[in-house]
Amino acid sequence: MENLNTKYLIIGAGISGLSFANEVKDDYIIIEKEKEVGGYCRTIKKDGYIWDYAGHFFHFKTNEIKDEFVEYIGKQNIIEQEKNTKIYYKDKLINYPFQMNIHELEKQEFIDCLYDLYNKEEKENYNNFLEMLYGKFGKSIVEKFLKPYNEKLYACNLENLDKDAMGRFFPYANIKEIIDNMKKEQHNSYNDRFLYPKDGAQSFIDAIYDRLEKEKVMLNTEIKQINENEKYVITNRNQKITFEYLINTMPFNKFLELLENSKYKKLEKELSYNQVLVFNLGFREKSMNKEHWIYVPDKNINFYRIGFYDNILSSDKLSMYIEIGFPKEAKINVEEQLKMTLYNLEKMGVTKNNELVSYSYIIMNPAYVHIDSKHNEMVKGVLEKLNETNIYSIGRYGAWTYCSMEDCIVEARKLAQKI
């Protein structure tokens, strides 16, 4: 067995792991099981199409990180867009978010939404996500959009999610804002504008990776065992790496599974999440749509969201991503889903006999972790306990949370500065 040692051992070369290394600069090793860096922020280039692992757009709330993004990639290589997003509702496209645009519905549906919004029974505290939706928006808005859409995305009963399961990413709106929007459209959601590298999201990863010492990044290497007390890991290449600090970014449930003599077996099994099947589709002709992405709450349609790279990149052939949610234990029949997807795109009038000329698919597993208050507390407790032995688990999956790439960078940097 080969013996190595390092101060900072980082598991995973996604945006969290790379950002941590970029901050500490020295005395680190990154272990990455894939043959390339990037994790979920990777780009596929095929037959002239540029696709990500699901659309990965950059919505910055921190100027410092936005400036760095621009500096790393170069202004001339970045597209900045005001987002154009719609909801496909009963064969019509209406503006997103649904709750802010009920005045675009046909008259009776609008009246129902407005009536229920006005007469909703608001509470001081909500026990779960679904109860919060009913309490804040009333029956019609919930049952026409919020419930079916989120059930398709999360692939679970929304009563199993915490009221704050989506944190700042949920587009809250009160009656005044909804009524104001009927007269004058507001642009104040967290992601009204976004930036995107012309060469795909991975350009940012590549720019961070270029700043690291490549020999400290071990690709095609998988952590197989973690000894918390003696502070070492074992890899699939028969290496024993001792560390002072362990920074994990792999999914927390899988991390717990690898801990030797783990006290957390029960939690590891109970953690819930969905999988997302992503199709990237390239067609022969340009699309008729103008949108960047469209939300699809209709349960007769297999996907919950579709996006148009050609409208983001101003390219001349319809180039799409399609997202389909599944429960964690589902066996996914990719071929059947592709058939359904093409049928539904035609039915919606998106493809209109446009010929599919290239495609790829990815299964993101986990994709959205299911945040519920009981397990949230348990995860927090275990993370704190691990911190006592200089083990930190960060990132969207390492910390078992709902967050953006920017949040991952901020968290990784803060931790690097702290320790």
Ligand X SMILES: Cc1cc2nc3c(=O)[nH]c(=O)nc-3n(C[C@H](O)[C@H](O)[C@H](O)COP(=O)(O)OP(=O)(O)OC[C@H]3O[C@@H](n4cnc5c(N)ncnc54)[C@H](O)[C@@H]3O)c2cc1C
CB-nearer residue toward ligand X: 30 or 102 = 30
Could you tell me whether strands 391-393 and 239-248 are parallel, antiparallel, or unpaired per DSSP bridges?
parallel
* Joined tokens for residue 283: 């067609």
Closest listed residue to residue 211, CA positions, set 56, 328, 71: 71
Element (H, E) at 204: helix 202-210
Choose the stretch contacting ligand X; rule: CB under 6 A; options: 96-104, 173-181, 284-292, 389-397. Answer: 389-397
Q: Residue 314, SS3?
A: coil
- Residue of 323, 401, 292, 293 lying closest to 152 (CA atoms): 323
Tell me if 212 contacts ligand X by CB under 6 A.
no
153 contributes a contact to ligand X by CB under 6 A: no
Please report the sign of the dihedral spanned by the C-alpha atoms of residue 2, residue 210, residue 251, residue 324. negative
Interface with ligand X (CB under 6 A), residue from 41, 78, 259, 313: 41
Cis peptide before 97 (omega within 30 of 0): yes
Nearer to ligand X, 99 or 274 (CB): 274
Query: Does 325 sit near ligand X (CB under 6 A)?
Result: no
Q: Which stretch binds ligand X (CB under 6 A): 34-42, 179-187, 205-213, 309-317?
A: 34-42
> CA 223, CA 248: separation in Å to the nearest integer?
10
Q: Is 277 in the site for ligand X (CB under 6 A)?
A: no
- For the stretch 299-336, what's the b/e string if a residue is b when 16 or more beta carbons lie within 10 angstroms of its beta carbon? eebbbbbbbbbbbbbebebbbbbbbbbbebeeeeeeee
Stretch that binds ligand X, among 67-75, 173-181, 262-270, 401-409 (CB under 6 A): 401-409
Q: Copy the structure tokens of residue 36.
A: 């390339």
Q: Contact between 152 and ligand X (CB under 6 A)?
A: no
Stretch that binds ligand X, among 25-33, 101-109, 261-269, 347-355 (CB under 6 A): 25-33
Site map for ligand X, 243-272, x if CB under 6 A?
Answer: ------xx---x------------------
- Pick from 34, 199, 257, 285 the residue near ligand X by CB under 6 A: 34
- Taking the least distance from each CB to ligand X, the nearer of 39 and 297 is 39
x/- letters, 338..377, toward ligand X (CB under 6 A): --------------------------x--x----------
Q: Is 200 in the site for ligand X (CB under 6 A)?
A: no
Residue 369 carries which DSSP code?
A: B
Residue of 182, 162, 68, 140 lying closest to 372 (CA atoms):
162
Interface with ligand X (CB under 6 A), residue from 21, 55, 313, 322: 55
Binding site for ligand X (CB under 6 A): 11-17, 31-34, 39-41, 54-57, 222-223, 249-250, 254, 276, 323, 364, 367, 395-398, 403-406, 408
